[in-house]
């Protein structure tokens, strides 16, 4: 039997290789938190040991401190939720001075997520991140409004996406991998993906939330303070699987950090079979503080039960062409 094909449970807990890589970054396990769904990590430390998961992906941080959007900032929807946080945060300086050292002290793997309003801001953020040791990767959240271009979201504009990644790439050097986080709200996702990879992204994070809205039937106005919000949770999982499958088909050599509605090991496996090298767990942590570690355990056992010799052999397995 060829390498990478599931056998019949021949691989045991001891021989199973659960590790993954995103660019030149190595992770013991493929399950991460999702940006904005674990704050800076401290809050979840009560529920599991942060060292045990693949990495903590921190909330997207901007250059300056930021209040975010007015409340209400959330609305539950069928099997999902809308959020409109508006990137509230302490700003990159305070973040690098306080939150990152704490995580490193815990021996947690850290992926820092950054967000900006201009191409320049992203480059500035990258430069600051570069100055701190111990960070495993940089996630560049480009699903932010571009103030230099009528607030059009960077990730919805192939050209602006490329320019952001290009600026980050040039600032950060080749030391830590760049993961470009894309929005699914585009006509041609593989095109955007190809653009940011050409510009220097080592990996892609798919998917950010889907733009949605809820009307409050009492006020009869948009419920969220920010009017529209990002849809996340199990409701969007089929969109995430499709996005990952499409992009993996177009760019089979580019590692993907998958996310969107994962709330069990079987969900994580779906994303991996579609082409994800790692999986971030977001909204599921809101309903279950131990979700990340539970999903990791379930995925581990499921991969072994399916007969995969390693996590890596399952990545993109749904694309195989051979006949059974």
Partner 1 sequence: MSQINRSAAQLNATVLANKRIGQYHQIVFGIGDLVKSCRPGNFVAIKVGGESSRMILRRAFAISRVSESVSFGGTMELIVAPHGTGSKWLCSQPEGAEVDIVAPLGTAFGIPTAPVNALLVGGGYGSAPLFGLAEVLKARGCKVDMLLGASTGAKIYAPMEGKRAVNSLKIYTEDGTMGETGRVTEPIKTLIDNREIDVIYSCGPMGMLSAISALTAGTDVVHQCAVEEAMACGIGICMTCVLPVMGEDGKIAMLRSCIDGPVMDGGQVQWQMVGQVPEGTP
Q: Specify the pairing of strand 278-281 against strand 31-33.
A: parallel
From ligand FMN, partner 1, a second copy, none, interface partner of 34 (C-beta below 5 to 8 A by class): ligand FMN
Q: Is 288 in the site for a second copy (CB under 8 A)?
A: no
Q: What is the 3-state secondary structure (H, E, C) of 106-159?
A: CCCCEEEEECCCCHHHHHHHHHHHHCCCCCCEEEEECCCECCCCCCCEHHHCHH
In this chain, which of 25, 38, 115, 231 binds a second copy, going by CB under 8 A? 231
Q: Among 80, 230, 258, 275, which residue interacts with partner 1 (rule: CB under 8 A)? A: 80
In the range 136-175, which residues lie near ligand FMN by CB under 6 A?
141
Please say whether the beta carbons of 208 and 184 come within 8 A.
yes
Positions 168 through 207 that interact with a second copy (CB under 8 A): 185-188
Q: Which stretch binds ligand FMN (CB under 6 A): 117-125, 194-202, 254-262, 305-313?
A: 254-262
Binding to ligand FMN by residue 226, rule CB under 6 A? no
If one asks whether residue 199 binds ligand FMN (CB under 6 A), the answer comes out as no
User: Tokens for 106?
Assistant: 């815990």
Contact between 74 and a second copy per CB under 8 A: no
- Smallest distance, Å, CB 136 to ligand FMN? 16
Helix, strand, coil fractions of the chain, as percent rounded to 5: 35, 20, 45
The Cβ of residue 176 has, within 10 Å, a number of other Cβ atoms equal to 20
Contact partner at residue 181 from ligand FMN, a second copy, partner 1, none, CB < 5 to 8 Å by partner kind:
ligand FMN
Q: Is 283 in the site for partner 1 (CB under 8 A)?
A: yes
Nearest one of 22, 34, 47, 7 to 277, comparing CA atoms? 22
- Of the candidates 273, 270, 292, 289, the one whose C-alpha atom is nearest the C-alpha of residue 281 is 292
55 binds ligand FMN (CB under 6 A): no
- With binding defined as CB under 6 A, does residue 260 bind ligand FMN? yes
Q: How far is CA 118 from CA 36, 141, 214, in A?
A: 20, 12, 29
Q: Which residues contact 101 (CB under 8 A, 6 or more apart)?
A: none
- The residue range among 24-32, 72-80, 108-116, 282-290 that interacts with a second copy, by the rule CB under 8 A, is 72-80
Of the candidate residues 6, 30, 36, 54, the single one contacting ligand FMN (CB under 6 A) = 36
């Amino acid at each position: 039997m060829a390498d990478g094909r599931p056998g019949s449970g021949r691989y045991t807990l001891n021989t199973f290789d659960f590790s993954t890589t995103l660019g030149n970054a190595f992770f013991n396990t493929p399950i991460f938190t999702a940006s904005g769904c674990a704050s800076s990590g401290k809050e979840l430390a009560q529920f599991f040991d942060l060292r045990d998961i693949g990495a903590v992906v921190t909330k997207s941080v901007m250059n300056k401190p930021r209040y975010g959007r007015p409340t209400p900032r959330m609305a539950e929807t069928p099997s999902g939720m809308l959020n409109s946080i508006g990137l509230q945060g302490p700003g990159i300086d305070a973040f690098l001075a306080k939150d990152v050292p704490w995580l490193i002290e815990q021996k947690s793997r850290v992926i820092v997520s950054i967000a900006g309003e201009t191409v320049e801001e992203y480059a500035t953020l990258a430069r600051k991140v570069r100055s701190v040791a111990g960070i495993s990767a940089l996630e560049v959240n480009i699903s932010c409004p571009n103030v230099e271009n009528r607030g059009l979201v960077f990730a919805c504009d192939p050209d602006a996406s490329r320019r952001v990644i290009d600026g980050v790439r040039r600032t950060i050097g080749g030391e830590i991998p760049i993961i470009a986080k894309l929005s699914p709200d585009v006509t041609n996702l593989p095109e955007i993906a190809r653009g940011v990879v050409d510009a220097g992204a080592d990996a892609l994070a798919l998917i950010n939330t889907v733009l949605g809205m809820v009307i409050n039937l009492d006020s009869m106005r948009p419920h969220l303070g920010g009017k529209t919000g990002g849809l996340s949770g199990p409701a969007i999982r089929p969109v995430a699987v499709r996005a990952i499958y499409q992009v993996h088909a177009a760019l089979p050599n580019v590692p993907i950090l998958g996310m969107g509605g994962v709330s069990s090991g079987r969900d994580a496996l779906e994303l991996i079979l579609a082409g994800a090298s790692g999986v971030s767990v977001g909204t599921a942590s809101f309903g279950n503080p131990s979700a990340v570690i539970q999903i990791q355990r379930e995925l581990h056992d499921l991969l072994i039960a399916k007969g995969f010799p390693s996590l890596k052999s399952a990545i993109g397995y749904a694309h195989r062409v051979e006949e059974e």
